[in-house]
Structure 1
C-alpha cells in the first residue's frame, strides 16, 4: 500500500513536471470563441410593429456554379431558438450523405424584446382563452405574417422551392401547424407536428376536425405527427391530460380526409415525454418527408 502511494506521488509529479506553462500570449491564442452554425445568417423582419428574426441556413454547395439554378425544399421552424439548433444538427449528416434532400432551413424567432413564452403563447394559440394570464389567440395574425412576409421573402431572396415547403412545430407550435393544415392546407406541402397541444381550449382543434369530416374536403399534404408515449398523466392528479391519446384521435379523424392514407404517419416514441420527444420527431419526420429516392 505504501509503495503504491509513493508510486502515485511519483506519477503525479511526473505529469506536473511535463505539463506546459502557457504564457499570456499563448493563452490569448486559445481564448474561447463563439460557435456558429455554418452557412447561417440572421435576417430582421417585421410584422407591423412586431420585430422578429429569421435564422436561415443554406445547404452545402448552395453557392457552387453547378447548383446556381437548383431549387431547394424549405423547412420552416417555429420556436426557432430551440428547434433551429436541433434540426440543423440532426439533418447535417443525412443531408451530407444525401440520404435526405438538401434543404434550406428557416427558423422563425419569437418577437424580439418580448419574453419567449409570452410571444409563443400569443402567436401559436388558435383562440382566446381568458383563463390564461397571457395574451392568447394570435394564430391568425401569425399565419398571415408567415404567408405574406416570411415565405415571400425567402422565396424571393433564396432558391426555395414553392412546391416543397415543410412546416415543423412542437407543442403549441404543433397545435399551430395543425390549424394551418385545417384552414390553409395549400400553404405547406409537408408537416412535422411534434407533441401537438390538442388539449388547447377543451380540444377545439379536434372539434374543428370533426366538422371538416362532414364535408368532402381532402388533404393532399404529407403529415407526420410524433409524440412520446409518456405524454399523459391520466389518473395522476386533477389536471388530467392525454396528449398521446389526443394525437391518436387526430390521426383517426384525419385519415378519412386524406387523398392517400400513406401520406399520414404517427410515431409514438418509447419512454419519451414532452421534454424529450421533439428531437426524435424532427429527424424521423424530416427523414420521412425528404428521403432521397434510390437512383
Structure 2
C-alpha cells in the first residue's frame, strides 16, 4: 500500500488518562490566517485537525490519534456524530478528510462525522509497525521479511478497545452506537479480524483490498470459528477490491477471489443483522484503488439519510 505523509499539528497533547469531558472542543487552527500556510520552509499543516498521544501501557509503545471534526461541531453542542476510525493514519487521515469535504461540497451527500486517524507506533517506520499490529499470526509465508515481527494484532485490538475508543469518546461528542472502521490491505485484514472476534467494537466496516492471503488464509479459519458459535453478526460491511488485484507479486494469491470467497461465506451464514456489500472496482489495482473505494465506502455507510441528519 502506498504511503503518504499527512501532517496534522496541535497544541501539546494531554495523556489519555487525564482526559475530561469536553462537550464543545474546537478544532485547532494554525495561528496564521485561515486558508494560508506558514512560509519560509515550515511544514505543511492540515487545517482544523488535532493530535493526541494515546500510549499503550501494556506494550510500552506510544501511539497518536489524529482527529478532524466536522464543520459546525462547535456550533451544535447537543449533537453527537458518527466516528470513523482509519488505520494507516499517515495515509488515510488526510485522504478521508478531503474526500468527505468534497462529497459534501455541493450539499450533504454523506453524514457529517468525526474522523480519527490511527498512527503507527511513534519512532517506528510504517511497515514494521503495521506488519506487527495489523496481522493475526506470526507467519505470512514466503513474503515474510527475515527480521520482521508479525502477529500481534490481538494485542493491538485490545489496545484500541481499552485505550483509544474511551479516549476519543471522552473528548468528543461521538455517537457510540455508530463507530465505524476503515482499513485497506493489512488494515482490511485487521478489520475482518475485529469483525470476527470483537464485533461489538464497531457497527460498520469499510474493508478495502483485504490481505486474506495472509497466514495461509487465516481469516478463513476464523470465519468458520465465529460461525460455529454465533447465529448473528450485527454489522454493516462494505468491501472493495480492484479488478487488477488478482495475482500479486508473482505469487499464487488471487485477492479478488479471496475477497469474493469471504463475502460469499459470510452471506451463506444467513446472519439476519449483517448487511454486506462487495464491489469489484474496474480498472484499479492495489495501489490505485484507495480513493475510489473509500469514496464508495463512505457513501455506503454514511450516505443514508445524510441530508436529513446533516440539516438537524
Conserved 8 A contact 1:74-1:104: yes
Q: Deviations over 1:70-106 (max 9, x none)?
A: 0000000110001111111111122452211100000
Deviation of residue 278 (structure 1)? Answer: 1.4
Number of residue pairs matched?
Answer: 263
More displaced 10-residue stretch of structure 1: 285-294 or 134-143? 285-294
Deviation of residue 291 (structure 1)? Answer: 0.8
Counterpart among 32, 37, 49 of residue 40 in structure 1: 49
Deviation of residue 211 (structure 1)? Answer: 3.4
Higher helix share: 1
List aligned pairs for 1:15-164, cutoff 5 A: 31=40, 34-48=43-57, 49-64=60-75, 67-96=76-105, 97-129=107-139, 132=144, 133=146, 134-164=148-178
Distance 1:285 1:30 in 2: 36
Conserved 8 A contact 1:45-1:52: yes
Distance 1:190 1:167 in 2: 6
Distance 1:271 1:160 in 2: 36
Deviation of residue 292 (structure 1)? Answer: 4.0
Q: Give the 3-state SS of the residue equivalent to 1:210 in structure 2.
A: helix
Relative to the length of structure 2, the TM-score reads: 0.79
Conserved 8 A contact 2:231-2:271: no
Q: Deviations over 1:96-154 (max 9, x none)?
A: 52211100000010001111100000000001118533111110111011111101000
Conserved 8 A contact 1:83-1:107: yes
List aligned pairs for 1:161-240, cutoff 5 A: 161-233=175-247, 237=250, 239-240=251-252
Q: Deviations over 1:160-186 (max 9, x none)?
A: 110000000110110000000000000
Conserved 8 A contact 1:255-1:261: no
Name stretches of at least 5 consecutive residues in structure 1 with no aligned partner. 1-28
**Displaced runs of 4+ in structure 1, greater than 6 A?**
none
More displaced 10-residue stretch of structure 1: 117-126 or 213-222? 213-222
Is the aligned partner of 1:265 residue 2:265? no
Identify which of structures 1 and 2 has the higher relative contact order when contacts are C-alpha pairs closer than 8 Å and 6+ apart: 2
Q: For residues 270 and 209 of structure 1, do their structure 2 counterparts lie closer, same or farther at Cα, with a shift above 3 Å needed? A: same
Q: For residues 31 and 264 of structure 1, do their structure 2 counterparts lie closer, same or farther at Cα, with a shift above 3 Å needed? A: same
Conserved 8 A contact 1:70-1:159: yes
Q: For residues 288 and 63 of structure 1, do their structure 2 counterparts lie closer, same or farther at Cα, with a shift above 3 Å needed? A: same
Relative to the length of structure 1, the TM-score reads: 0.84
Counterpart among 250, 272, 290 of residue 262 in structure 2: 250
Q: For residues 130 and 30 of structure 1, do their structure 2 counterparts lie closer, same or farther at Cα, with a shift above 3 Å needed? A: closer
Correspondence for 2:17: none
Name stretches of at least 5 consecutive residues in structure 2 with no aligned partner. 1-37
Q: Give the 3-state SS of the residue equivalent to 2:99 in structure 1.
A: helix
Q: Deviations over 1:169-227 (max 9, x none)?
A: 11011000000000000000000001000001111101221333344431110000010
Q: CA RMSD in A?
A: 2.0
Correspondence for 2:19: none
Correspondence for 2:35: none
